[in-house]
Amino acid sequence: MKGVKISGIGSSKAGYVLTNEELSTIVDTSDEWITTRTGIKNRYISNGQTTTELASKAAALALKNANIEASALDMIIVATITPDLFMPSTACMVQSALGAIKSTAFDISAACSGFIYGSKIAINSIRCGDVKKVLVIGAEVLSKTINWQDRNTCVLFGDGAGAVIYEATDNNKILNMYTQSDGKNGCSLTLNSTPLKNCLIEEKLVTPYMQMDGREVYKFATNIVPICIEKVLQNTEVKLSDIKHFILHQANERILDAVAKKMKIDKSLFFKNLDKYGNTSAASIPIALYEAKANFNTGDKIVLVGFGGGLTWGSLLLEW
């Protein structure tokens, strides 16, 4: 089986910084409520950037950092729940923007776990010898799916993109992976698409916005993240105490704190940038990785954890 390593990371931000103070002029909320309940202070939202543009910018930076040409990429996977179009896929439009002429390009939908799911596909594709260089992007313009009158959701989300390049190597750095889903309980976090309407069926009205039962999702998250961490360490020689960095999906600071407490892990090991970005769904882990990597040393063991709509969850164990 081939080894796999990360060879480049990039990220990109949407153009407008929306502060808690400005949000308080749009809906009945306050900086105090948002900060104490979530830890979020600001979020970047699109003032014109598309998902494809954010994804392409993050990808171009990852390619530069990996020192490889776009034309060398074998595969491009974009994880997103906010594609610009149903067709072509965001990945195909990124392929065109980058000039990645020999890539196979496709999108996947796994909400906030999308980057972990996409990474698993990329890593397994390299391991089986089918491809050598794969670009995985998490990119979202969630602001177009938000009901800006709904204070339960509009304070939480942001736009952005992060990108990672996985490459075949003799010196394997991906130590384990774990993913799972629970479609039965998917109704706690939903985003409707085009309703069924054809010559047989009259259009039914659907709410076109992101809807979330926050308390249910909070319970799910604080329960599933420790499981993700335990599962990804199982059948490896790596112990919990060996992990130098935990990069969790950036949904809520209280979730990070609750997991740290439950697992008796020093909370300073949990990277946090949700105060600047809010929850950017599939983009949150690669954006966090891009920012956290300044603190990584060679040999550091790192755990990535995603969880969210579907319901979906998963984790990756890496060595830097």
Kindly list the catalytic residues: 112, 249, 279
Q: Is 252 in the site for ligand UT7 (CB under 6 A)?
A: yes
- Four-residue CA torsion sign, 142, 146, 148, 152: negative
| CA 134 to chain CA centroid, nearest Å | 17
Cα 49 to Cα 39: distance, rounded to the nearest angstrom: 26
279 binds ligand UT7 (CB under 6 A): yes
Is 188 among the residues that bind ligand UT7 (CB under 6 A)? no
13 binds ligand UT7 (CB under 6 A): no
Count the helices and strands in the chain (H runs, E runs): 10, 13
Query: Least Å distance between CB 241 and ligand UT7?
Result: 26
Minimum separation from the CB atom of position 36 to ligand UT7 (A): 9
Q: Judged by CB under 6 A, does residue 214 bind ligand UT7?
A: yes
Site for ligand UT7 in 127-186 (CB under 6 A): 151-152, 155
Q: Decide the pairing of beta strands 174-181 and 189-191.
A: unpaired
C-beta closer to ligand UT7: residue 209 or 218: 218
Position 218 contacts ligand UT7 (CB under 6 A) = yes
Mapping DSSP onto H, E and C, the string for 18-35 reads EEHHHHCCCCCCCHHHHH
Q: How far is the CB of 314 from ligand UT7 (least distance, A)?
A: 13
According to the binding rule CB under 6 A, does residue 221 interact with ligand UT7? yes
29 binds ligand UT7 (CB under 6 A): yes
Q: How far is the CB of 68 from ligand UT7 (least distance, A)?
A: 31
Q: Could you tell me the strand order of the sheet in which 3-13 lies?
A: 3-13, 160-169, 133-140, 75-79, 104-108
**For residue 76, with 0-12 CB atoms within 10 Å meaning exposed, 13-18 middle and 19 or more buried, which class applies?**
buried
Residue nearest to ligand UT7 (CB): 214
Segment lying near ligand UT7 (by CB under 6 A), choices 32-40, 59-67, 117-125, 173-181: 32-40
| Beta carbon nearer to ligand UT7, 108 or 112 | 112
CB of 133 to ligand UT7, least distance (A): 29
**Contact call for residue 38 and ligand UT7 (CB under 6 A):** yes
Phi-psi region of 187 (alpha: psi -120 to 50; beta: other; left: phi over 0): alpha
Q: Three-class SS of residue 203?
A: coil
Q: Applying CB under 6 A, does 108 fall inside the site for ligand UT7?
A: no
Task: Name the residue nearer to ligand UT7 (CB basis): 49 or 281.
Answer: 281
CA distance 46 to 259: 31
d(CA 29, CA 234) in angstroms, rounded, equals 43
Task: Count the alpha carbons within 13 Å of 240 in the hemisphere toward its beta carbon.
Answer: 11
- Rounded to a whole number of angstroms, the distance between the first and last alpha carbons of the chain is 20
CB 260, min distance to ligand UT7, A = 15
Nearer to ligand UT7 by C-beta: 214 or 226? 214
* Dihedral sign from CA coordinates of 2, 6, 53, 150: positive
User: Which of 29/96 has CB closer to ligand UT7?
Assistant: 29
Q: Which residues bind ligand UT7 (CB under 6 A)?
A: 29, 33-34, 37-38, 112, 151-152, 155, 189, 214-215, 217-218, 221, 251-252, 255, 279, 281, 308
